[in-house]
Amino acid sequence: MPPLLALDAVVKDYASEAGTFRALHGVSVEVQKGEFMAIMGPSGSGKSTLMNIIGCLDTPTTGTYRFEGTDTATLSEGALAKLRNAGIGFIFQQFNLLPRLSALANVALPMVYSGVASGERNARAQALLASVGLADKPRSRPSQLSGGQQQRVAVARSLANNPQLLLADEPTGALDTRTGVEVLGLFRALNEQKGVTVVIVTHDPEVARATNRVVRIQDGLVFYDGPPTEAALYGHAEATA
Amino acid sequence: MIYTMLIEAWSALVANRLRSALTMLGMIIGVAAVILMLAIGGGVQKQVSDAVSGLGSNMLIVTAGSGRQGPLSGGAGTGASLRIEDADAIAKIDNVAAVAPSTSLAAQVVAGPVNWATQVTGTVPGYFTVNAWPAGDGRLFTDREDRAGARVAVLGQTVADKLFGANDPMGQTVRIKGVSFTVVGLLEHRGQGFGGQDRDDVIVVPLTSALRLLQGNAIRRSIRIISVGVASAAALDQVTDDIATLLRRLHRLRAADQDDFSVANLTAITDTLSTTTAAISLLLAAIGSISLVVGGIGIMNIMLVSVTERTREIGIRMAIGASRAAVRLQFLLEALMLSLIGCGIGVAVGTGLAMLAGRFIGFDTAVTVFAVVVAFAVSASIGIFFGWWPATRAARLSPIEALRS
């Protein structure tokens, strides 16, 4: 069975006014199904670029990215949209809920795009809200919810189409410590009980500590790939050893 | 999915109530203008066609050939080609409702000290039926009086005014070419004809009397005009052909000979008039559609603003799996909804204005189903046409950049 994610010598160049800027210099990472891991790195290290590529929002300049063994370069725009819709669940630092929609409608939105009938959609969205502890808030607008509640709605939304991968970008960045711990606990539960692969992109060592594996990116290269040791979490040079 | 997207489109419009309402205003004014213009145009058209049918549009007029065969061979002989017998034969053609042969001559008419040059028409009582021309006062002459060659006359309003002024002409005597006629009736007022001639400047006498007493011996049995009333407008062409065939046979014309008569109907005039009025309503509608286009540009403008404002929303939607087609559809639906709701209100406003206008101008300005259907079709096209570009712009956004905004 192929790994869930397989990046092989991924290079990403951006054209800017100053000339071509290379964000990734050849990144090779494999992620197996059921892993619970963090991608770390200071800002400007290329970790956001890596996340965009893993999330199929962007494509490598050279190198290959396989999702469940399929080279994403061979997929059409439509197929990539489908993959984002059903294969990957996104969780963002700023939650990115649609402000006009209720919590229930936000959770149901990915199922609108995957064509789930409305009755089933709403039932499932309600069940997902219940699973993140918000069974009593389906009608609330995001602005009526606390940050932690909004992020839990976002988690429920990311699970709408039963994705294999949860891809979280600084998921606790906008939350206080206690709420952050709750959200991480939610990820852990999903990973252990449902076998969802979780990839968290973060610069926060405390977040990365909760995972089983840390990939540290620096200057567009994999700098460390292994268990969340103190050295790895705090980015000491000797971590490479 | 479409239903969900419609609800979303609606909620997006409601979220920006004032802006949506102002955008719709452009469409409302445009559609109302088109509806109003079409209604007024239709009213004009109806008015004209009613006026034309008052002239007797189901009528054919057979006239004796005149100078048609060239300047030299025309003249008296050809002018005398129609005879009473022709009228009797035409009466037997299918779909012919009435036939009225008539002749006419210019004459100086004298009543006591007053005289007046006018047109004297000799005809049968059926003439009044075919021309839908009843007596305004007194009576018309009868078939019996016609057969007997009675010396009775029916006056047009103008002639009555000129000869008798304020006096009652009934029972008075008029002298035409030295022959005395008793006035038995007065025709209803008719007004001007198409050439501007005064159709009330006429005296009508029985055909027999006119042929016997007023027309010269040589052409005694010849008449100028046969008016033919046709049962229905649909039969006009057929009857026209039948009369031509019949008359060619009766006049023993060979295949090479030209017709020595002509059959004319008023449909040519009706057609010209309806083409003209149709052009007028088209022009009015075109003026209205300019404001529709302006309304459409308003929609495009607001949709572009909306796409820019909602870039982040578009990025989120793309990240959670909206295809570019779905994003485009979403914005197209919003544009379409703006234009169609605007259209609905515009139709209501336009209909109201048309009714109001009808009351003021005093003719029928009914809004037709056709106009409403056209308004909706055009509005939908405008929504799609002017919504396409903003929607495409939304669909082309890069999800990463959209999310970053």
pLDDT of residue A191: 94
Residue B253, token pair as written in the block: 């014309």
B:289-318 residues touching chain A, CB 8 A cutoff: 312-313, 316-318
* pLDDT band per the 50, 70, 90 thresholds, residue B52: low
* Distance (Å, whole) CA B28 – CA B211: 67
Q: Is B352 touching A (CB cutoff 8 A)? A: no
Q: List residues in chain A touching B: CB distance below 8 A.
A: 52, 55, 57-58, 77-78, 81-82, 84-86, 90, 92, 96-98, 100-101, 109-110, 112-115, 118, 157-158, 161
Please say if the pLDDT value at position A241 is more than 60. no
pLDDT at B194: 61
Q: How far apart are the first and last CA of chain A?
A: 31
CA A226 to CA A240: how far, in whole Å? 10
Task: Please give the pLDDT value at position B209.
Answer: 86
Chain B interface disruption, residue of A47, A54, A82, A112, most B CBs within 10 A: A112
Residue with tokens 């034309």: B52
Q: Within an 8 Å CB–CB cutoff, is residue B15 touching chain A? A: yes
- The verdict on B4 touching A (C-beta cutoff 8 Å) is yes
Question: Rounded to an integer, what distance in angstroms lies between the CA atom of residue A95 and that of residue B378?
Answer: 42
Separation CA B86–CA A3 (nearest Å): 104
Q: How confident is the model at residue B69 (pLDDT cuts 50, 70, 90)?
A: very low
- How big is chain B, counted in residues? 405
pLDDT at B217 over 60: no
A25-45, pLDDT tens digit by residue? 999 999 999 999 999 988 888
pLDDT tens, position by position, A144-197: 999 999 999 999 999 999 999 999 999 998 889 998 999 999 999 999 999 999
Average pLDDT, chain A: 91
User: Which whole number is the average pLDDT over B120-125?
Assistant: 89
Q: How far apart are CA B391 and CA B325, in angstroms?
A: 9
Q: How far is CA A34 from CA A50, A84, A99, A211, in A?
A: 20, 18, 32, 12
Higher pLDDT, B122 or B71: B122
Do residues B155 and B137 touch, judged by C-beta distance below 8 A? Answer: no
Could you state, in order of their start, the residue ranges of all structural domains in chain A?
Answer: 34-61+76-240
Return the minimum-mean-pLDDT range out of A51-60, B21-30, B277-286: B277-286
Burial degree of B169 (CB within 10 A; 0-12, 13-18, 19+): buried
Task: State the smallest CA–CA distance between residue B400 and chain A in angstroms.
Answer: 6
CATH class of segment(s) A34-61+76-240: alpha beta
Cross-chain Cβ contact B323/A78 below 8 Å: yes
pLDDT confidence of residue B77: 36
What would the pLDDT profile of B131-182 be if each residue is shown by its tens digit?
Answer: 778 888 888 898 888 888 889 999 998 888 888 888 888 888 899 888 899 9
| Structure confidence by residue, pLDDT tens digits, B166-180 | 888 888 889 988 889
Which range, A102-111, A175-184, B181-190, B197-206, is most confident?
A102-111
pLDDT for the residue numbered B63: 84
Please tell me the distance from the alpha carbon of residue A198 to that of residue A169, in angstroms, as a whole number.
Answer: 11
Answer whether B320 sits within 8 Å of A90, measured CB to CB. yes
Phi, psi of B228 (to 5 degrees): -120, 120
Q: Which residues of B touch A90 (CB under 8 A)?
A: 319-320
- What's residue B193's pLDDT? 67
**Helix (H), strand (E), coil (C) string for chain B:** CHHHHHHHHHHHHHHCHHHHHHHHHHHHHHHHHHHHHHHHHHHHHHHHHHHHHCCCCCEEEEEECCHHHCCCCCCHHHHCCEEHHHHHHHCCCCCEEEEEEEEEEEEEEEECCEEEEEEEEEECCHHHHHCCCCEEEECCCCHHHHHHCCCEEEECHHHHHHHHCCCCCCCCEEEECCEEEEEEEEECCCCECCCCCECCCEEEEEHHHHHHHHCCHHHCCEECEEEEEECCHHHHHHHHHHHHHHHHHHCCCCCCCCCCEEEEECHHHHHHHHHHHHHHHHHHHHHHHHHHHHHHHHHHHHHHHHHHHCHHHHHHHHHCCCCHHHHHHHHHHHHHHHHHHHHHHHHHHHHHHHHHHHHHHCCCCCCCHHHHHHHHHHHHHHHHHHHHHHHHHHHHCCHHHHHHC
Q: How far apart are CA B223 and CA B15, in angstroms?
A: 81
Q: Which two tokens stand for residue B387?
A: 């919504």
pTM: 0.69
Q: How far apart are CA A121 and CA A97, in angstroms?
A: 17
Check residue B76 and give its pLDDT.
Answer: 37
CA distance A229 to chain B (A): 32
Are the C-beta atoms of B90 and B246 separated by less than 8 Å?
A: yes
Residue range B22-33: average pLDDT? 92
Alpha helices in A143-176 (DSSP H): 147-158
Residue of B280, B268, B354, B286 lying closest to B44 (CA atoms)? B280
Q: What is the CA radius of gyration of chain B?
A: 34
Check whether B201 has a pLDDT greater than 60. yes
Choose among A51, A74, A78: nearest CA to A64: A74
Span B309-364, pLDDT tens digits: 999 999 999 999 999 999 999 999 999 999 999 999 999 999 999 999 888 877 77
List chain A residues with CB under 8 Å of B318.
57, 81, 84
Kindly tell me if the per-residue pLDDT of B75 is higher than 70.
no
Strand (E) or helix (H) holding B100: strand B96-111
B181 DSSP β-pair partners? B174
Q: How high does pLDDT run on average in chain B?
A: 84
Rounded alpha-carbon distances, angstroms, from residue B252 to B162, B246, B249, B296: 45, 10, 5, 68
Q: Between these two residues, B374 and B233, which has the higher pLDDT value?
A: B374
Q: Do B319 and A84 touch (CB under 8 A)?
A: yes
Q: B321 and A52 in contact by Cβ < 8 A? A: no
Which of the four pLDDT bands, split at 50, 70 and 90, describes residue A128?
very high
> In whole angstroms, what is the distance from residue B77 CA to residue B250 CA?
16
pLDDT of res. B78: 44
B92-118, pLDDT tens digit by residue? 888 888 888 888 888 888 888 888 889
Residue numbers in A near B326 (CB within 8 A): 81, 113
Supply the pLDDT for residue A239. 46
pLDDT of residue B396: 93
- Strand-pair category, B179-187 with B135-138: antiparallel
Percentage with pLDDT > 70 across chain B:
91
Is B392 or B278 the better-scoring residue by pLDDT? B392
For residue A215, what are the β-bridge partners? A39, A225
Is a pLDDT exceeding 70 seen at residue B27?
yes
In the predicted model, what is the mean pLDDT of residues B44-49? Answer: 76
Mean pLDDT of B371-400: 92
Q: Which two tokens stand for residue B123?
A: 């005809």
